[in-house]
Amino acid sequence: MASKRTRIGILVPSNTALEPLTTAILTLLPNVTAHLCRFPQKIAEVVQLLAHANVDIIGWSGTSSEWLVFAADEELCKMITDATGIPATTSVLKLNKALRKFGISKMGLVMPYVDDVREAIIENRKAIGIDANAERHLERPDNVNFADLGSETSDSMALSTFCTNLTAVQYAQRWERQ
């Protein structure tokens, strides 16, 4: 009897780095498939499209609640589950859960963002007991081009990257060795 396949429905922001990375990571997991959908349109319609794939969970891979409010992701998850009956989560909520689970109270971030976004992230982290003052940022306003920044930009900055359109995870093992 074949193993049950786990299907993950993933809502992605309109960027170009996240989708190929997600696919590459999931190729390492047997019997797991990703069903991705960008959502510049009405989210209620998009989650219904993901539900058609009989996904086991729907996740939002964006990081916008980092500089907005974390409650925005909680509301988004509730809306998705109410609309589809499928459990939902976000990358930020899962990160927050992992930080609590491992007792982490400080984190360093590498971000491409401008000052007001960076400051909001640091304040939101502070509100949940995380010191994120150890950071480096690029002061870039051009979200579409974040994915074009390569390792030559990130190598000297890497602590923990934070932006779904910043190509970085591909370099994590090398940075850890260094």
Give the lowest-confidence range in 21-25, 132-136, 160-164: 160-164
Q: What superfamily would CATH give domain 6-93?
A: Lumazine/riboflavin synthase (3.40.50.960)
pLDDT at 38: 77
User: Is pTM beyond 0.85 here?
Assistant: no
pLDDT of residue 129: 94
Six token digits for residue 92: 């930020």
- Listed by start position, the domains of the chain span 6-93, 102-177
3-state helix, strand, coil in the chain (%, to 5): 45, 15, 40
Using the 8-state DSSP alphabet, how is residue 106 labeled?
B
Of 23-32, 36-45, 124-133, minimum mean pLDDT range: 36-45
Tens digits of per-residue pLDDT, 85-137? 999 999 999 999 999 999 989 888 877 778 888 899 999 999 999 998 877 66
Residue 44 predicted with pLDDT over 90: no
Residues 6+ apart with CB under 8 A from 155: 171, 175
* CB-based contact 62:10 (threshold 8 Å): no
Mean pLDDT in the chain? 80
Closest-CA residue to 125 (of 134, 112, 136): 134
- What's the pLDDT at 22? 83
Rounded average pLDDT over 22-37 = 85
